Each structure stands twice: as C-alpha cells, then as structure tokens.
C-alpha cells in the first residue's frame, strides 16, 4: 500500500513538476500576451461607453448588483472617474512591457490582475476570448516566461558584456544589479525549471478540460446528435462573417462536421497524450479554429485557442525551427551568394555559440 502511494506520488511529481526549458513559455508569451494587449487596446475605442460609472452599457449600479454574490474583484471600482483614462493607458503600458518581456516576474502578475479586473468590470461583454486570456495570463505569470526572447534577457546579456575598461558603465551596471526589483528580474531562469513544467502542464490540462466540457455540453443538445448543429451555426446571421449557406447542398458535409466536432472534443483529452497522434489531433483543432475565425468572424478567439497548442510543442522543436529559419534567411536572403556547405558550417558554429551563451 505504502509502495503504491509512493509510486502514485512519484508519478504526480513527474507529471506536474518535470523540469522543462523556459523556451516554450517564452515563445508562448509573444502571441498570447500580444493577443491580451490587442484585446485591451480595442477597449480604447469604446472605453467610456463601457467603463463609465453612469450612462454606460455596464453601469456601476448594474454590475455590482449582478455580481452581488460573486467573489469578483476589479481595481476599476477604486479608480476615480477623472483617472480612468490614465489608468487605462498605464494598464496598456504594463501589458506592452510584459509582451516585450520587461521585468516579467512583476509585469506578469500585473498583467493577470489587469485581465481579471477588466473582465470583472464589464462581465456581460466577455466571451471565450477573455476566458482564454485569463488562462494565458495566470499560467504565464507563474513561469519565468521572460528568461529568453525578451528585453530581460537582452539586458542581462548587456550587463554581462559591459566593457571592463569602462569604469562608469560598470558602476551603472553594478548599481542596476543591486536594485531589488531588478535583481529579481535578473534571476529569471534560463535553465529548465519545475515552474515551467507546471505552467506547460496547466496549459495542456486546462485545454483538455475546455474541450471535454465543450464536447459534453454539445451532447446534451439534439442538433449536435442529428448533425444539424453546424448548419444552424453557419445560418446564424448575427455571427456570420462569410456566407456558409452553401452547406445546405451538402448534408453529408455539415452532418459529418457536427458529429466530428463533439467526437473530437471529447476524445481530445485522451488522444492528445499519445505522441504518435498528437500532431493529427492538434491539426484537426487548428482547422476547426481557423474555420471559426474565417466564417464566424471570431479570429481573436480562434487564434487565442490555437496559441495554447504551443504548449504541446517541445523546446527542441522550437530550437530546430529557429535554426532552419535562420538557415533559410542566411542562404536565400541575407547572403544568397554563399554555397550551401559554407552556409551550413557557419550557421552551425553561430548556433552553438548562441546556445552556449544562453546557458
């Protein structure tokens, strides 16, 4: 019994806390926080119409009554009316800093607070996109997602490369290193850590939850069973951004799509863990979300869901893709005159150097 418990505990530890390279979350930070920034930037167009205390679509009186029994926090309830625009722009600035990877241990958590506060201030205007933004903000905040491909990493390299002969610069660098807030940022990991493993697993498992409940929810309805649901979705004019009514002439197609949708969603939490099937399972999801973006006009939601798929890609794959992209760039664009062999040799040397410097 004790042995079994120990084995189970060991499996739990290995599943949730395996050490992973921060490269994965660092890559994910760019599109995910980019989407969060875009989402909040768009509020600027209708800011007063949604966020003003009175004469707005979501007045203070209505929202506070709507959330009466909820534990929904928002810093917007404490912002005076005269300071609302300033608060909005400061929020956008913080999101921008997190996006480019500046002071990520701090801006990451601020990003999470901002996402939650905006969502809880205008709750009825939220939909799937905001739910995915919330997931991205929390899981990126718990990982050192500024370890690489970030301003933090760039500054760290610069501080290490300060010219020894330049005394003034060295003093500035020493002073910066001692600032408590900055010292924390400099400790951002570049080595594989358990917090990265936890963050990646949470992304993966949460995606499984989303699809599982999406599929089970559909099975409670009649039209997902009889295969008409995809037609009805396509025929909802108020969602439609491209005409899909031609589907009516292909019953086999919309019926197959309806059945495939819930069958794929329910099987996702099982199939995606099979290494041989993962690529195909994700490919089906990719096509589904691109279809939602193209025909229902929800590009932002579709892309946000696809960005979570990046958690299923290994750090080695990212490194290999970057190497191939650099190779392509060097061979065909920057130095097209180079022979293939010479180009390969020089690039390999450069890649090795970059890797060793990063570690």
Partner 1 sequence: MPSSLPLPTSDDDRTNLSNIGGENLSDQAIKKWCRRVGFGLVNVWLVIHLIGVFLPAFSIPPSPEIVRDLYWSLRFYPQAIYMDHGYHFFGPDPGDSTLLRFVAVQADGTSVRGTYPNRNAFPRLRYHRHFMLTEAIPRVASFDEGLGALQAKTYAARILASTNAESVRLYRVTHRMTSIDRFLAGGRLDDPETYFDEMLGTFAIDDEKSVVRR
**Which residues within the stretch 272-311 sit at the binding site for partner 1 (CB under 8 A)?**
297-300
Q: Site for partner 1 (CB under 8 A): how many residues?
A: 71
- Shortest CB 56 distance to partner 1, Å: 6
Quick one: which segment of 97-105, 130-138, 175-183, 309-317 binds partner 1 (CB under 8 A)?
A: 130-138
Taking alpha carbons only, the member of 288, 298, 283, 239 closest to residue 262 is 288
- Shortest CB 82 distance to partner 1, Å: 18
Is 82 near partner 1 (CB under 8 A)? Answer: no
Taking alpha carbons only, the member of 111, 174, 103, 99 closest to residue 141 is 111
Is 209 near partner 1 (CB under 8 A)? Answer: yes
Question: Exposed e or buried b for every residue in 195-223, given b needs 16+ CB within 10 A?
Answer: bbbbbbbbbbebbbebbbebbeebeeeee
Residue of the chain from 11, 245, 317, 334 that contacts partner 1 (CB under 8 A): 245
Residue of the chain from 18, 125, 151, 294 that contacts partner 1 (CB under 8 A): 125
* 298 within 8 A of 129, measured Cβ to Cβ: yes
* 296 within 8 A of 239, measured Cβ to Cβ: yes
Q: How far apart are CA 109 and CA 306, in angstroms?
A: 23
Is 224 near partner 1 (CB under 8 A)? Answer: yes
Residue of the chain from 87, 96, 131, 267 that contacts partner 1 (CB under 8 A): 131
Residue of the chain from 217, 324, 335, 352 that contacts partner 1 (CB under 8 A): 217
DSSP secondary structure of 288-300: HHHHHHHHHS-HH
Residue of the chain from 25, 129, 140, 153 that contacts partner 1 (CB under 8 A): 129
Quick one: 189 or 330, whose CB is closer to partner 1? 189
Q: Which positions from 84 through 103 interact with partner 1, judged by CB under 8 A? A: none
- Shortest CB 134 distance to partner 1, Å: 4
311 contacts: CB under 8 Å, gap ≥ 6: 24, 28, 200, 203, 204, 207
Q: How far apart are CA 298 and CA 261, in angstroms?
A: 17
- Shortest CB 229 distance to partner 1, Å: 6
Quick one: which segment of 154-162, 230-238, 317-325, 329-337 binds partner 1 (CB under 8 A)?
A: 230-238
Residue of the chain from 126, 263, 286, 354 that contacts partner 1 (CB under 8 A): 126
Residue of the chain from 93, 248, 287, 353 that contacts partner 1 (CB under 8 A): 248
Q: Pull the structure tokens for residue 279.
A: 């690529």
Phi, psi dihedrals of residue 235, rounded to the nearest 5°: -90, 10
Q: How far apart are CA 294 and CA 307, in angstroms?
A: 17
- Shortest CB 297 distance to partner 1, Å: 5
Residue of the chain from 21, 23, 51, 58 that contacts partner 1 (CB under 8 A): 58
Residue of the chain from 72, 259, 271, 290 that contacts partner 1 (CB under 8 A): 72
Residue of the chain from 46, 86, 316, 348 that contacts partner 1 (CB under 8 A): 46
Q: Which long-range contacts (CB under 8 A, 24 or more apart) does 223-230 make?
A: 223/258, 224/258, 224/259, 224/261, 224/262, 226/255, 227/251, 227/254, 227/255, 227/256, 227/258, 227/259, 228/254, 228/255, 228/258, 229/258, 229/261, 230/254, 230/255, 230/257, 230/258, 230/261
- Contact string (CB under 8 A) for partner 1, positions 16-45, x = contact: x---------------------xx--x--x
């Amino acid at each position: 019994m004790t042995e079994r418990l120990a084995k189970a505990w060991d499996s739990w530890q290995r599943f949730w806390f395996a050490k992973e390279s921060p490269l994965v979350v660092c890559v994910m930070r760019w599109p995910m926080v980019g989407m969060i920034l875009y989402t909040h930037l768009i509020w600027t167009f209708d800011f007063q119409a949604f966020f003003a205390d009175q004469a707005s679509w979501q007045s203070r009186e209505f929202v506070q009554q709507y959330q009466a029994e909820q534990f929904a926090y928002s810093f917007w309830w404490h912002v005076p009316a005269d300071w609302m625009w300033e608060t909005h722009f400061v929020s956008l600035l913080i999101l921008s800093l997190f996006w480019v990877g500046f002071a990520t241990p701090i801006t990451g958590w601020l990003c999470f607070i901002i996402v939650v506060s905006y969502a809880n201030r205008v709750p009825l205007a939220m939909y799937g996109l905001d739910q995915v933004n919330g997931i991205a903000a929390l899981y990126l905040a718990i990982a050192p997602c500024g370890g690489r491909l970030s301003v933090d990493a760039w500054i760290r390299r610069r501080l290490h490369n300060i010219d020894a002969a330049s005394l003034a610069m060295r003093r500035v660098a020493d002073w910066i290193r001692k600032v408590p807030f900055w010292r924390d940022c400099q400790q951002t990991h570049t080595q594989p850590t358990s917090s990265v493993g936890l963050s990646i697993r949470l992304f993966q498992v949460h995606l499984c939850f989303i699809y599982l409940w999406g599929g089970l929810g559909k099975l409670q309805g009649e039209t997902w069973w009889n295969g008409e649901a995809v037609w009805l979705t396509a025929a909802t004019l108020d969602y439609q951004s491209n005409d899909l009514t031609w589907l009516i002439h292909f019953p086999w197609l919309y019926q197959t799509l309806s059945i495939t949708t819930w069958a794929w969603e329910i099987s996702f939490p099982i199939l995606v863990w099979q290494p041989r099937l993962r690529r195909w399972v994700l490919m089906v999801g990719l096509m589904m979300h691109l279809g939602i973006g193209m025909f229902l006009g929800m590009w932002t939601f579709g892309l946000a869901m696809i960005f979570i798929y990046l958690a299923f890609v290994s750090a080695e794959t990212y490194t290999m893709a970057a190497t191939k992209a650099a190779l392509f760039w060097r061979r065909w664009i920057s130095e097209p005159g180079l022979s293939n062999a010479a180009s390969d040799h020089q690039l390999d040397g450069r890649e090795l150097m970059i890797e060793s410097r990063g570690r």
